[in-house]
Every structure is written in structure tokens, then in C-alpha cells.
Structure 1
Amino acid sequence: MHSKNGIVEVLRIEYIRLKLISVSFKTTSSYLLFLLLITFGLAGCGSSATVSKTTLKIQDTPIVFDQERIELSRAYLRDRYGIVQNDATIRPQMVVVHWTAIDNFKESLEAFYPPKLPNSRPDISSAGSLNVSAHYLVDRDGTVHRLMPDTLMARHVIGLNHCAIGIENVGGTKDTPLTKAQFQANLALVKELSNKYSIKYLIGHYEYTLFEGHELWKELDAGYRTEKTDPGVDFMQDLRKELSDLELKGPPGQPITTAQ
């Protein structure tokens, strides 16, 4: 457990460091807000790099999560799910695995970075101006980047954002299939999240519509769906096989994969 004085000292040192270097984030204050959310989360749950017995290392690479994004997230929860609350927090019960379909980390990160959805996404703009995002972005070398706190809502999966942590993997195009390093990083990250939260479900993005009619499904618009294939059937089958000891559920109707 971190002491309050220790947390304050960490933030003070980080503030000085940011003053001495050029930071690519929107503002120093936005980044410090991210640090506060992450640090107090760690104070309650333990360091994410040491929870499990894996060698998982997480690098904080925050997207903009300012007041505008919070308000857009609250509006999304209200308009899409009928959930009215004073913040944009969620209670994680599910992990959803994705690929970005972008062949490099820089452009993948840029896609999630701003709070508002760009004009290039007319396919989903009718459902709100909140930009898409995910909690984690795994680079092709297996580096895990935390983009935002686990308990804030990210827009990454229709109908389930209120309860789902999203893991995006750079790549997924014909020329950039997901790598072995990414697979190992996903294994370690899902294990860690399962230890940290009451995670019951592990699904690929392509499986999300199978939750229609389930108690967790909250999308109010019966016509708002998008077709997905990420992160691939083989990737999810292998992931479930390696994580069978966790006995995580898949979509409704799919048997739980258990250790043999």
C-alpha cells in the first residue's frame, strides 16, 4: 500500500521532470490527472507490474482524457445505454481483444489520442462524438502501453463498454499479422487483469454481437452494429487455450475453456 506522502512525492518529482523535458501530451495538467488516477488505483490494488508471476511491464502512454472526454463519455453512457452517472467510471467484468488494422504504433496511438471522433469515421459518428479508444495498446514487439485507467470507460465495443476493458494490438492487416510477442503480452495482461478485477469474460471483438439479449448488453439502438473480425479466430482460440486455468467465459452459449 502506498502512503499518501509517498504518492504526493512521486507526483512532485514527475511534475519537475515534465517541466524539464518536452512532453507530447496535450497539457502537463492532463498528464498529471492521469498519473493521479493511475497512482491511486495502484495504492488500492498493488503495482500492475508485480501482481502476477509474469514478466509483464506496462508503460504509461496516456491519451487525452480531459474534462471534454469525461463529458463525452458520460453522454455516451446515457444516450447509448441509459446509464446516468456523475462520472465515466466502469466496473470491469470483461476483457475484449482487438487489433487496430493499422501497421504501426504511432498511427494507432494517434487514432485514439483526441477526445472527439474525427470526421473520417462516419460509420459510427451517428452514435456519438466520443472518440474510440482502449485501455491498452500492445505494440508489435510486445510492449504494453496503458492509454487510460482501467476503471474509466473506453469506446471500443458496442453494447459492452460499460463493463469491458479493451486491449488493442497494433497491426492485423494482411502484411502485419499479430506477432508472437503480442500474443505473449496479451496472455500476461489478461492474467494480470483477471487477478486485479472480477473478470468473468474474455472475448474477441468479432464476438461482441453474441451478447445481444444478455444481461450485460446495454446498446439501446437495435440498428447500431458494425461487423468485426479482430483479433482473428485463431488468436482467440490460442489465447483461451493458454489461459484455460482462469476458466474465463466466452460469449453466451460457448463452453468455458478449462485446463486439462
Structure 2
Amino acid sequence: MPIESVPHAPQVSPLAYESRLDARALAQVDLVVVHCTELPDLATAREYGERVIYVESGTGNSGHYYVDRDGACHRFIAPDRIAHHVRGYNPRSIGIELVNSGRWPHWLDSRHQEMDEAYPDAQIEALIGLLNALRAELPSLRHIAGHEDLDTAMVPASDDATLLVPRKRDPGPRFPWQRVLRAVPLQRLS
């Protein structure tokens, strides 16, 4: 099923620097990385994505697709561009961000490491539809992972540098891995 025909077809709204991201052959994409924004809403996630933090290239950090709590899907970066969303895996992966507060706004505070927000059914169903559409369009796509599976670095806590906390925890303990894996033809890479 083409992406345009999924129930929540992505609204295409490219980030201003999309054309400055390195191009790639879609045949090299074999992995989807599931993230959560760890921000309060889609508008704030968009604002973070628009920030240019790599001065030489004029680009920033962003996933390819964003799925809001109500299932609305947005494409910020085309799949044939290498987005900056996970260390060491960007050239081979597509990043999908689920709007979820995660640890926001105390990401690295040792006293605030819980990720309590559940993922709504509409959001998970939209994610499953998007994953199945991507798999149909990209025959090389075989694997799925969470950001936390691939970036396992521990960093000093912002409240106490003698304590270490995970740099990334998304999509976190509330993400329904079993439900998603039963519904998509992808194997978890961890």
C-alpha cells in the first residue's frame, strides 16, 4: 500500500534545510528507528527540528516522520535524505518520532527519569499503517529498533554529575512493542 493511501497519509511539510541533507539511495534503507519527541506537542517538536545546529551543513536534528497523538502523520524529511536522528545509524535508517512528553522538560535529571505518558491507540494504529506502507515501498526495509536500543550511552545527570542516566530512553517502557511487532513485517534489531 503506498504511503499516500494509508488512513493517516503524511502531510508533507519539509524542514527548510531538507535539501541540504545528504541524498541516499532508498535501497540502502533497511531500518526504522522509533523515537518519542520527549516534548509537549508537535509544534514544539517542529520548532526543535527547525533549529540549525550543524553550522557547516546548515542542518539540524529531525526524524523523517512525526506521528501526533491523534494519529495525524507529518513528513518533515523525505526518505531519500539522511536525517540526523540516531548516532551511527542515520545512513541506513528512517526515523519516526511519536509525539510523547517522555521525560520532558527534565530529560537528564536523575529524579525525573520516568516516562509515564501512554501512547494512544490512534497514534499506534497510524504508526502501524505508516510502517506497513514504508515496508511496501522499500523492499530492503527489514528491521525496526527503538532509539534506546541503539544509543545506550550513559551521561552525567543534570542534577548530580556523580550519577549517570541514559542519554536516550525513547520510545520508552510504555511503547507497545509486542502489538507493533505483531502487525508489521519487520524484525526488532537490538
* Partner of residue 170 from structure 2, selected from 230, 235, 241: 230
The CA deviation at 1:129 is 7.3
* Partner of residue 167 from structure 1, selected from 96, 100, 106: 96
Structure holding more strand per residue: 2
The CA deviation at 1:59 is 0.9
Structure holding more helix per residue: 1
Tell me the TM-score normalized by structure 2: 0.74
Number of equivalences:
160
Larger deviation, residues 152-161 vs 228-237: 228-237
Q: Does 1:117 align with 2:53?
A: yes
* Partner of residue 102 from structure 1, selected from 39, 43, 51: 39
Match of 1:232, SS state, is coil
Q: State the alpha-carbon separation in 2 of the partners of residues 66 and 179 from structure 1.
A: 29
The residue that corresponds to 1:39 in the other structure is none
The CA deviation at 1:145 is 0.3
Task: Give the structure, 1 or 2, with the largest relative contact order (CA under 8 Å, sep 6 or more).
Answer: 2
Q: State the alpha-carbon separation in 2 of the partners of residues 203 and 239 from structure 1.
A: 11
The CA deviation at 1:104 is 0.9
Q: Does the CA contact (< 8 Å) of 2:32 and 2:144 recur in 1? A: yes
Q: State the alpha-carbon separation in 2 of the partners of residues 58 and 208 from structure 1.
A: 26
Tell me the TM-score normalized by structure 1: 0.55
Match of 2:132, SS state, is helix
- CA 1:134/1:66 → structure 2, altered by over 3 Å: closer, same or farther? closer
TM-superposition CA deviations, 1:17-75 (whole Å, max 9, x none): xxxxxxxxxxxxxxxxxxxxxxxxxxxxx95223xxx52322112211256xx2xx4xx
- CA 1:56/1:193 → structure 2, altered by over 3 Å: closer, same or farther? same
Q: Mark the structure with the bigger radius of gyration.
A: 1
The residue that corresponds to 1:189 in the other structure is 130
Q: State the alpha-carbon separation in 2 of the partners of residues 138 and 176 from structure 1.
A: 15
The residue that corresponds to 1:146 in the other structure is 75
Q: Does 1:203 align with 2:145?
A: yes
Counterpart AA for 1:97: V
Q: State the alpha-carbon separation in 2 of the partners of residues 135 and 104 from structure 1.
A: 17
Segments ≥4 residues shifted beyond 3 Å: 174-177
- CA 1:168/1:250 → structure 2, altered by over 3 Å: closer, same or farther? same
